[in-house]
Structure 1
Amino acid sequence: MTTGHAPLPTAHGGPTDALDGAVLLLRPDDDVAVATRDLPQGAVVAVADRFVTVTQGVPRGHKLAVADVAAGVPVRKYGQSIGRATRDIAAGHHVHTHNLGMDDAGRAHEVGTHLVDLPAPADPGRTFAGYRRADGRWGTRNYVGIVTSVNCSASTARLIADQFRGRVLEAFPGVDGVVALTHDTGCGLVPTSEGAQITRRTLRGYADHPNVAALLVLGLGCEMLPAQTLLDGLDLPADKPVRTLVIQETGGIRATVRAGVAAIEEMLPQISALRREPAPVSALVLGLNCGGSDGYSGITANPALGHASDLLVAHGGTSVLAETPEIFGAEHLLLRRAVSQDVADRLLARLDWWQEYMAHGGGTLDNNPSPGNKAGGLTTILEKSLGAVAKGGTAPLRAVYEYAEPVRERGFCFMDTPGYDPVSVTGLVAGGATVVVFTTGRGSVLGCKPTPSIKVATNTPTYLRMREDMDLNAGRIVDGTATVEQVGAELFEKIVAVASGEQTVSEDLDLGTDEFIPWQLGAVT
């Protein structure tokens, strides 16, 4: 075994039984390639102008060593270190958890060195069909939202919403539904604590969301976050009808359900009368998220979503990347795109917070990837993060927000959220996302009322197996039938269509109520 990296084996006219297209080498100097099919031991694969004999079977989506790497030396994928070899690795070996570990070496933090100007859109006047709100924002859906101040009002909220399930709303075709936004907190918290502020900010974000056309705020009456505090200081649009009910004051659950149903019945004709109008695509706020990632995520769906994100930003729109634990190890790529030192410092501050938070809990950020991620071919958080940041495209990073903060800046932004999908997406929606695109390799099934969620499969087998749960197949990129740019352009068109009212599969299944999960922090007394 040589010290460091050995060059790829070369051949001048390889074996006739060599497999062509069986692996993807993402950068010329990478030490690993990604298998596009199961590679049995003894198979010979073509890698650029070279041939590698598979000495250990490699599952589809996993990594094949295409160069010798000595123990302790970084292993490169995407042209970046994804970890260090924990033992000598020979070309032809399967590279995974048994021979690849974390690389704790620091990464160079250069600020603003890779700022690019996105190409001007071919159709700068592009529109979608949206709902105009009195404050100038545009919604993509018309929901009645029941926002609960405390878990104690959750059951009552669900009882009210249940009265509007089924055919009841057929008389109001302009209404997308009545959604009970219930949660597990709201009391037992120190009101000034970080946890209480996050909960309050999340609930206020949903109350103020442009996809919530009418609002019922529901409290118990003795909680630490009273119902009225969710509205105090909110500059809600004048055309959003709002009612507040407190169970203890209204006369108990049954009386509150009757009052809540009556209040919503009064609201329905007003919001059902709203009609979609041409709206500038620049008014869209796109949430970017991934879950159940696999070895193809950073090759297909994520970069395709990045291309769609760039197209939206080029039109003057906004896209928001999230999941702070899943940019760890790739933060240097985002820092190079930061438009100012302040933006860079805000991103680094959130990463520092996470390091301290994980250490306090006895863990590290490399506790991620999940078992499903590893089964799909991802080994370290570095590898996962390098693929995850591809969702953000190439646009300059203009702002960094804390969880559920209102997103005010146009362009590409970042929001600090956990990697747990429903908690992350809840923060994005609270921040104002009016459309979410969710990429998945293993097959996550997520909805996020009141915002539509577009689910994109990273590989064709998952798409075919779960076709009723996926909106788009990015696996065609690996299959060789489409490029990243083609799928990205198709995804952009899907975003515009869904924003204009086209139903996603999540909406067809009526998903998105149980996935409302605000991030909970802090002690409960």
Structure 2
Amino acid sequence: MATVSPTPTPACTDDASAPADLADVAVVLAPEDDVAVATRDLAGGTVLRSGGATLTVRTTVARGHKLAIRALEAGAPVRKYGQVIGRATADIAAGSHVHAHNLGMDDGARDLQVGVDRRDTVPAPERLTFQGYRRSDGSWGTRNYIGIVTSVNCSASTARMIADQFRGPVLDAYPHVDGVVALTHDTGCGLVPTSEGAQITLRTLRGYATHPNMAGLLVLGLGCEMLPAQGLLDGTGVREDVPVRTLIIQENGGIRATVRAGVAAIEEMLPEVDALRRQEAPASALVLGLNCGGSDGYSGITANPALGFASDLLVAQGGTSILAETPEVYGAEHLLLRRAVSQDVADRLMDRLRWWERYAEAGGGTLDNNPSPGNKAGGLTTILEKSLGAIAKSGSSELVAVHEYAEKVTEKGLTFMDTPGYDPVSVTGIVAGGATVVVFTTGRGSVLGCKPSPSIKVATNTPMYERMSEDMDLNAGRIVDGTATVEQVGEEILAQILAVASGEATVSEELDLGTDEFVPWQLGAVT
């Protein structure tokens, strides 16, 4: 996928005698593209120089939105990133704003070749490290949390009451404990235990219980639920270095008695967890979650390709990256298939996409119901356009595995996990799969945390970064501003990953975000 590093944008003039260059106010991502992406608001009547000719902007085109750079007939394919992002639903004159009023979905077949763009990962010459917590199973944590894992929603309030006793200065005496997090959810009963929905919930809870960032566990249940707390961790391989206590509200004398017992149990764990110390760890031990939310027209130009470059650098270190959000791969899957290491990996990806087509149809919709209103306000029109920008987070590494939601990811290299596009649900699955650091790119300004893993926020554009600087960790908008390249920002993201993995707090952690964003995917009938 083409990426560019534009020059700084000068003031644009509407004076036809001195038109600005198209390249000064917009980005053309590939030679075959039919549209350019505006890097500033363009007023109707603005005259631009383009390829030895002039181009007149016909109506206002907001920054991040698309400007037709050639005339297109109704029904013609429209290209961006060198790929088809839809078909013209009306004749489009050169200089027109291209968006939902004249661009629709293209359901044409894609060229689904497997493995033709695979490239061997060249190990990085310099082996990078971070300061992490070595666990008894050989994994490395980036944080040191005590988790309260709830088997059912009926124990959620009790779990929160227990966790609330450990907020604020009460943990000052335990500087090596990052916090006590209550993992509450809306299910756990009313489900057929063997159903897909119940298994997803169980897999998610077990993924968090065995996560490298968990150093202590309190398992909390009501006592009559379909997913009983007593067997919640059976066969999960909870590490031998993790203290575990289980409390049942009905057996323990009710909520008040259980809160007292839960607080006492965690107080017993605190000295043991606090005694753990960070050690030098190889970057290859990191599992990086890749996610985006509140995307805009710059996402696929700045933050996502920069994160993809950082992901490639981590893979070259021997590390793992997890791409997710299956509905936001739809329409760009052919590019991932070209990097699949085997036909089996390709088939697993296509199986999940076909499942999503059936799932959306059963709900009375289609996958092109995505992008969201916020995405469209930011300049994205079709799911094809959004997906092409979204998969830029995966870089260029070969795709080594495809996993179900919340499955443990054990492979090294670039992997894929089947999740919805809804940010909290998607990130919950990624963390359950083992992500010890998450990088979250956003154009509109999503503010998501994901305890027990830190979330690094990367802004796609400078105006949003400046408006929400207290919620963003890094500004990739400098790429389109012309003050940094994709590669430079990608290297900065990797450096930030290593610093955060070593204990540096992200802005979401400073705000203590990440508890309410634990949202397991819910599927299946509730009886």
Q: TM-score, normalised by structure 1?
A: 0.96
Corresponding position of 1:81? 84
Matched AA of 1:158: R
Q: CA deviation at 1:224?
A: 0.2
Corresponding position of 2:20? 18
Corresponding position of 1:103? 106
Q: CA deviation at 1:42?
A: 1.0
Q: Deviations over 1:95-139 (max 9, x none)?
A: 00000000000101000000113443231x211000000010000
Find the partner of 1:288 among 287, 290, 305.
Answer: 290
State whether structure 2 residue 229 is matched by structure 1 residue 227.
yes
Q: SS state of the match for residue 36, structure 2?
A: strand
State whether structure 2 residue 115 is matched by structure 1 residue 112.
yes
Q: CA deviation at 1:22?
A: 0.2
Find the partner of 2:327 among 321, 325, 329.
Answer: 325
Contact 1:23–1:45 (CA<8 Å) still a contact in 2?
no
Q: Deviations over 1:35-89 (max 9, x none)?
A: 0000001112244555321112101100000011110011000000000000001
Matched AA of 1:159: M
| Percent identical residues | 76
Corresponding position of 2:481? 479
What are structure 1's unaligned runs of at least 5 residues?
A: 1-13
Corresponding position of 2:381? 379
Distance 1:49 1:129, change over 3 A: farther
Superposition map of 1:327-342 within 5 A: 327-342=329-344
Corresponding position of 1:10? none
Corresponding position of 2:523? 521
Q: Deviations over 1:198-254 (max 9, x none)?
A: 000000000000101100000000000001222100111111111111111111101
State whether structure 2 residue 189 is matched by structure 1 residue 187.
yes
Corresponding position of 1:35? 38
Corresponding position of 1:121? 124
State whether structure 2 residue 20 is matched by structure 1 residue 54.
no
Contact 1:286–1:320 (CA<8 Å) still a contact in 2?
yes
Distance 1:48 1:513, change over 3 A: farther
Contact 2:86–2:105 (CA<8 Å) still a contact in 1?
yes
Q: SS state of the match for residue 180, structure 2?
A: strand
Corresponding position of 1:157? 159
Find the partner of 1:456 among 455, 458, 461.
Answer: 458
Q: SS state of the match for residue 413, structure 1?
A: strand
Q: CA deviation at 1:496?
A: 0.4
Corresponding position of 2:279? 277
Structure 1 moving runs of 4+ over 3 Å: 46-51
Contact 1:459–1:475 (CA<8 Å) still a contact in 2?
yes
Q: Deviations over 1:124-173 (max 9, x none)?
A: x2110000000100000000000000000000000000000110000000
Task: Answer with 222-231 or 340-349: which moved more.
Answer: 222-231
Q: SS state of the match for residue 20, structure 2?
A: coil
Find the partner of 1:69 among 53, 72, 78.
Answer: 72
Corresponding position of 1:11? none
Contact 1:291–1:440 (CA<8 Å) still a contact in 2?
yes
Superposition map of 1:220-259 within 5 A: 220-259=222-261
Matched AA of 1:56: T
Cα distance in 1 for partners of 2:378, 2:54 equals: 25
Matched AA of 1:375: A
Contact 1:209–1:430 (CA<8 Å) still a contact in 2?
yes
Distance 1:247 1:99, change over 3 A: same
Number of matched pairs: 511
Find the partner of 1:140 among 142, 159, 163.
Answer: 142
Corresponding position of 1:176? 178
Cα distance in 2 for partners of 1:155, 1:314 equals: 44
RMSD in angstroms over aligned alpha carbons? 0.9
Matched AA of 1:450: P
Matched AA of 2:55: V
Cα distance in 1 for partners of 2:488, 2:52 equals: 27
Corresponding position of 1:443? 445
Contact 1:18–1:51 (CA<8 Å) still a contact in 2?
no
Contact 1:460–1:473 (CA<8 Å) still a contact in 2?
yes
Cα distance in 1 for partners of 2:407, 2:300 equals: 27
Corresponding position of 2:12? none
Cα distance in 2 for partners of 1:521, 1:425 equals: 17
Q: CA deviation at 1:17?
A: 2.9
Cα distance in 2 for partners of 1:451, 1:116 equals: 30
